[in-house]
Amino acid sequence: MLIINGAVHTMDGPVIGQGYVAVTGSKIAQVGPMSECPADWEGEIIDAEGGHICPGFIDAHCHLGMFGDAVGFESDDGNEETDPCTPQLRAVDAVNPLDRCFSEARAAGVTTVLTGPGSANPIAGQFAAVKTDGRWVDAMLVKAPVSMKLALGENPKQVYHHRDETPVTRMATAAIIRENLRKAVEYGEKLDRADQDEDTDPPDYDAKLEALLPVVRGELPVHIHAHRADDIATGLRIAREFSLKCVIVHGTEGHLLPDLLAQEKVPVITGPALGDRSKPELANMTLENPAILSRAGVEIAVCTDHPEIPIQYLPLCAALAVKGGLDEETALAAITIHAAKIAGLDAQLGSLTPGKEADLVVSSRHPLELMGQVRAVLIGGRRVE
């Protein structure tokens, strides 16, 4: 497939004012100005007609397929509110790829999402990276698990306060996370000793600790739900104690300590920004948060937190970051290459680099313009819209 006559946002270099993208199979084959476009192309051709060509959008944090659209409890599979520590839960076992929001994602150019459990539990479970096209989640997987979800702040407090169970304070939330991470460290040490000494019996199998082993070994990052500045600090404190790979999710009050986040070299997945201040920890929410963090040197992505903000409004959320002072191309990067980097998927996604997967969006105007129309969407080299 050959896409021609568009402004090409490669995301790994400058915008090509009038260019083309050639796709062979499921991969990007060539990218360049129209003066270098293959003249003897025999496959399908899409004319961007002076519009824009960019990588497929990536939502670095949402719950797509976990909370059914327009359905009640029957399809509410995002929060296991019976145990504050559930690292063994896997998003792939709950994602419903036939939820109609997947088609809305594709229509808006969202081609990959990181989706998983909500924030009811201090340790909530395993996120997965999935493409938005398909009927069988196993065939849609990019990576699973892609992260372990932790949650700080009001949400665990609210859930377990109503049950008269722990945690009902921020202290208890942090203590539950620490306790189980320490148990995982000890579990791993016992497994190592058993491997090295045939006379030493391994510990009994523990599904929770098995799931946490790659976390404490630095192999699987933690994505920490934290809005308030003090919750962000607690997340970073725990990450330092256990040498965890850490990403802050939401980071609503990140703009109050951007220099500290920059010093820690911790990425922040910002958002959702399109909504009201519905709870106390959102009191300092501002559209300027992504811009302030980015100017301080913090690597950022922008998310919808679907269904908090419907998945199809991911480009609009990035546009709101521009309204808040973020550079337009940096905002586009926040839902393409920066999102891919934070997810650890940038070797295959996020830019129009030859050899990467051919996930592309063709739009009538700049990808973040509200009045623009998505003209074509490719996932893995196949046109899906």
Query: pLDDT tens across 10-25, in order?
Result: 999 999 999 999 999 9
More confident residue, 278 or 358: 358
pLDDT, position 248: 98
Percent of the chain whose predicted confidence (pLDDT) is above 70: 100
**Mean pLDDT for the stretch of residues 53-71:** 95
Given a cut of 90, whether residue 346 has pLDDT beyond it is yes
Same domain, 4 and 144: no
What CATH number is given to the structural domain containing 88? 3.20.20.140
pLDDT, position 14: 96
Same domain, 331 and 271: yes
Same domain, 102 and 18: no
Same domain, 185 and 264: yes
pLDDT, position 74: 84
**Mean pLDDT for the stretch of residues 195-214:** 96
Same domain, 104 and 244: yes
Given a cut of 90, whether residue 106 has pLDDT beyond it is yes
- How high does pLDDT run on average in the chain? 97
Same domain, 268 and 314: yes
Given a cut of 90, whether residue 73 has pLDDT beyond it is no
**Mean pLDDT for the stretch of residues 288-300:** 98
**Residue numbers of the domain that contains 178:** 57-349
pLDDT, position 354: 98
**Mean pLDDT for the stretch of residues 261-290:** 95
Query: pLDDT tens across 133-182, in order?
Result: 999 999 999 999 999 999 999 999 999 998 899 999 999 999 999 999 99
Query: Confidence band (pLDDT; 50, 70, 90) for 67?
Result: very high
pLDDT, position 291: 98
pLDDT, position 71: 82
Same domain, 190 and 327: yes
Same domain, 246 and 313: yes
What CATH number is given to the structural domain containing 35? 2.30.40.10
Same domain, 363 and 249: no
pLDDT, position 75: 86
**Mean pLDDT for the stretch of residues 87-111:** 98
pLDDT, position 72: 83
Same domain, 268 and 344: yes
pTM (whole model) above 0.85 = yes
**Mean pLDDT for the stretch of residues 97-111:** 98
Same domain, 300 and 235: yes
Query: Confidence band (pLDDT; 50, 70, 90) for 70?
Result: confident
Q: What SS3 string covers the chain?
A: CEEEEEEECCCCCCCEEEEEEEEECCEEEEEEEHHHCCCCCCCCEEECCCCEEEECEEEEEECCCCECCCCCHHHECCCCCCCCECCCCEHHHCCCCCCCHHHHHHHCCEEEEEECCCCCCCEEEEEEEEECCCCCHHHHEEEEEEEEEEECCHHHHHHHHCCCCCCCCHHHHHHHHHHHHHHHHHHHHHHHHHHHCCCCCCCCCCHHHHHHHHHHCCCCCEEEEECCHHHHHHHHHHHHHHCCCEEEEECCCHHHCHHHHHHHCCCEEECCCCCCCCCHHHCCCCCCHHHHHHHCCCCEEECCCCCCCCHHHHHHHHHHHHHCCCCHHHHHHCCCHHHHHHHCCCCCCCCCCCCCECCEEEECCCCCCCCCCEEEEEECCEECC
Query: Confidence band (pLDDT; 50, 70, 90) for 273?
Result: confident
Q: What is the number of structural domains in the chain?
A: 2
Query: pLDDT tens across 23-36, in order?
Result: 999 999 999 999 99
pLDDT, position 162: 86
Same domain, 191 and 306: yes
pLDDT, position 254: 98
